[in-house]
Structures are given as C-alpha cells and as structure tokens.
C-alpha cells in the first residue's frame, strides 16, 4: 500500500495566488482529514469527511479556504486568495480501525509545505 499520497510536497507562491493541495487516501479508508501544522499553533484540524461527505468544517479558518472530496480516492484543499499567514505544513490523513486496539487510527500523508510570500 502506498499510504496517503499528497501533492505537491512543497509549494512557494505569492500572496493573492490560488493554492490547491491534493490528497489520495488509503484505499478502503472511509474518513479523510485535513490538518495544518505550524510552530505557533501545532496541529489543527481544518475539516474532515466521512464517506466523501464533509462532517465538520469548523476548523476552516475563513472563507478563503475550501475543501472537496468528489470521490473516495481524492480530496482537495484550496486557498484563494492565499496570504503569508497561511504558510504551514498541510497534512492529509485517512483513518482505519486498528485491529489490535479497536481505535480509529489516523495515517498521515507526508504533508505539503506551503510558503506564501
């Protein structure tokens, strides 16, 4: 299994530009999460989907952020227009029930490091 796949791994853009981050969850996982990580705020949950349906987007910072999951194997997080304060590592994760513990365990992608100048 290739794990959770994110692209791009790194993106540098200028303020005002549109940014689209992509995620392919692990096949068979029915929940997908978008997190943002910064030194100041740590890991923050932005939005999560269950069976492709957005369940909770209360963590999305403002209207400039949007996320979609058109099918079980693909999700996007879009920022339009981008601002310097959006600079962070954006992680996508999908979840599976751990057979040993019964816990719903998140598997993270490698992350997309975004720098907005």
Which parts of this chain interact with other proteins (CB under 8 A)? 33, 42-45, 48, 56, 91, 98, 101, 103-111
Task: Count CB neighbours of 100 within 10 A.
Answer: 6
Region label for 59, one of left (φ > 0), alpha (ψ between -120 and 50) or beta (otherwise):
alpha
Among 68, 71, 83, 95, residue whose Cα is nearest residue 19:
83
Closer residue to other proteins in complex, CB, 18/56: 56
Rounded least distance, CB 80 to other proteins, Å = 25
Rounded least distance, CB 43 to other proteins, Å = 4
In sequence order, what are the beta bridge partners of 44? 36
Closer residue to other proteins in complex, CB, 22/81: 22
Rounded least distance, CB 110 to other proteins, Å = 5
Rounded least distance, CB 23 to other proteins, Å = 12
Residue written as token pair 């978008």: 34
Closer residue to other proteins in complex, CB, 65/91: 91
Closer residue to other proteins in complex, CB, 18/44: 44
Residue written as token pair 């932005």: 46
User: Strand 42-50 to strand 104-108: parallel, antiparallel, or no bridges (unpaired)?
Assistant: unpaired
């Amino acid at each position: 299994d290739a794990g959770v796949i994110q692209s791009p791994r790194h993106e540098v853009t200028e303020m005002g530009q549109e940014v689209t981050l992509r995620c392919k969850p692990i096949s068979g996982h029915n929940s997908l999460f978008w997190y943002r990580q910064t030194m100041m705020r740590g890991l923050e949950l932005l939005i999560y989907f269950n069976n492709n349906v957005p369940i909770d987007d209360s963590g999305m910072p403002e209207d400039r952020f949007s996320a979609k999951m058109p099918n079980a194997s693909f999700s996007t997080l879009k920022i339009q227009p981008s601002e310097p304060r959006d600079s962070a590592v954006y992680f996508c994760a999908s979840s599976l029930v751990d057979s040993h513990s019964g816990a719903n365990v998140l598997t993270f992608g490698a992350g997309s490091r975004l720098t907005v100048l």
